[in-house]
Amino acid sequence: MATALRLRDGFLRFVPSLVLLTALVVFALLAFLAPGAVTGAVYRIDTPGFSVSHLDLTCAPDDAGMLHCPIDVAGRRLTVRTDPAPLGGVCRAWFDGRQLSCDKAGEYNLGSPWLRLDGPVLPEAETAGLRSDFPWWHDVVDRYWPLAVLVVTVALALIAAVLAFLASGRPHLPHPKRGWYTAVVGAGVVLVLVLAGGATMGTRLWWILVVPLAPGLVPLLVMPVWQWYASGGSDGRVGTRTKHTAVAFLSALVSGFVLVGLVTFLAGMPD
């Protein structure tokens, strides 16, 4: 009878892994989009009518270490000259022979400058095409990433709660490899942080040992405890299912927010 119950234990013990998989997916996306990985260039340029991504910029350093970025705007030349420091320093811009005001955005955690110009101010017909060329995900990454993290983690918590409720409805005994699953989840939390930091922070690898140490303890403690509980069996009663559902929701919400939030922070999201 015990063997039959164990064979029918379903997927309840796998629900905590959903948080780790989500963090890995976020990491995989940010490995290509990470602002912190854009170094030795200009990250982005904003004007009153359009923006230009680093993906569309070609900047060359001069002998003084200043970056020169020529941009074709409606058949005319926009030129930006700046030092590579994300904050402070020198920033100048010219368009069609006229000097523009140029300031650094003042966003921390970036690896390269984010510049804001007071021009050029062009007719809508000329700027519409430039706006359409700007990647749609850029503003999500640059301006709305805290909201995006919140939306992802709340959705993750709701999905984990539903899965836990469904999976705990099938009576089963504690899994014989309960301790092994718990250890794997704990190691997975560390792995996600190390991978995310190493892939998106480049030479600033020490950040993954110092910056996330305190907040990283939250998922490092919560996730293994949740895994241990989720692998502990269920009698299929409403009370037990409610407990599994509540534990899954709260654990996924707290751990997911910290873990996904840390991954995005390590990726250099502006703050």
Three-state secondary structure readout of 188-241: HHHHHHHHHHHHHCCCCCCHHHHCCHHHHHHHHHHHHHHHHHHCCCECCCHHHH
Question: Which of 253, 254, 232 is CA-nearest to residue 243?
Answer: 232
Whether 156 has a pLDDT exceeding 80, the answer reads yes
Tokens of 138: 């850029």
pLDDT at 11: 83
Confidence of residue 212 (pLDDT cuts 50, 70, 90): low
Residue type, 173: L
| Poorest-pLDDT segment among 129-143, 185-199, 212-226 | 185-199
pLDDT at 85: 85
CA 179 remoteness from chain centre = 30
For 98-134, the pLDDT digits (tens) are 999 999 887 666 778 899 999 898 888 888 888 888 8
For 241-267, the pLDDT digits (tens) are 999 999 999 999 999 898 888 778 777
Residue type, 149: V
pLDDT at 162: 95
pTM of the model: 0.78
Mean pLDDT value across the chain? 83
Whether 154 has a pLDDT exceeding 80, the answer reads yes
For 54-97, the pLDDT digits (tens) are 888 888 888 888 999 999 888 889 999 999 888 888 899 999 88
pLDDT at 204: 53
Using an 8 Å Cβ cutoff, are 215 and 259 in contact? no
Q: Determine how many CB atoms are found less than 10 A away from the CB of residue 191.
A: 14
Query: Torsion-angle region of residue 44: left (phi > 0), alpha (psi -120 to 50) or beta?
Result: beta
Question: Which of 79, 115, 82 is CA-nearest to residue 99?
Answer: 79
Which string of DSSP letters, residue by residue, matches the chain? Answer: -HHHHHHT-TTGGGTTHHHHHHHHHHHHHHHHH-GGG--SS--EEE-SS-EEEGGG---EE-TTS-EEEEEEETTEEEEEEE-S-SSSS-EEEEETTEEE-EEE---TT-SS-EEEES-----HHHHHHHHHHS-THHHHHHTSHHHHHHHHHHHHHHHHHHHHHHHTTS-BPPPTTHHHHHHHHHHHHHHHHHHHHHHHSTT-TTHHHHTTHHHHHHHHHHHHHHHHHHTS-B---HHHHHHHHHHHHHHHHHHHHHHHHHHHHHTT---
pLDDT at 209: 55
Whether 183 has a pLDDT exceeding 70, the answer reads yes
Q: In what order do the strands lie in the sheet with 91-95?
A: 60-61, 67-73, 76-82, 91-95, 98-100
For 162-182, the pLDDT digits (tens) are 999 999 998 888 888 899 999
pLDDT at 84: 87
Query: Average pLDDT for residues 197-203, to the nearest whole number?
Result: 52
Question: Can you tell me the distance from the alpha carbon of 186 to that of 87, in angstroms, rounded to the nearest whole number?
Answer: 37
Q: How far is CA 48 from CA 127, 143, 205, in A?
A: 10, 16, 36
For 215-246, the pLDDT digits (tens) are 778 888 899 999 999 999 889 899 999 999 99
Highest mean pLDDT among 38-52, 140-154, 234-248: 234-248
The domain spans of the chain are 2-36+142-266, 38-135
Q: At what angle do helices 213-230 and 238-266 cross, to 10 degrees?
A: 150
Confidence of residue 3 (pLDDT cuts 50, 70, 90): very low
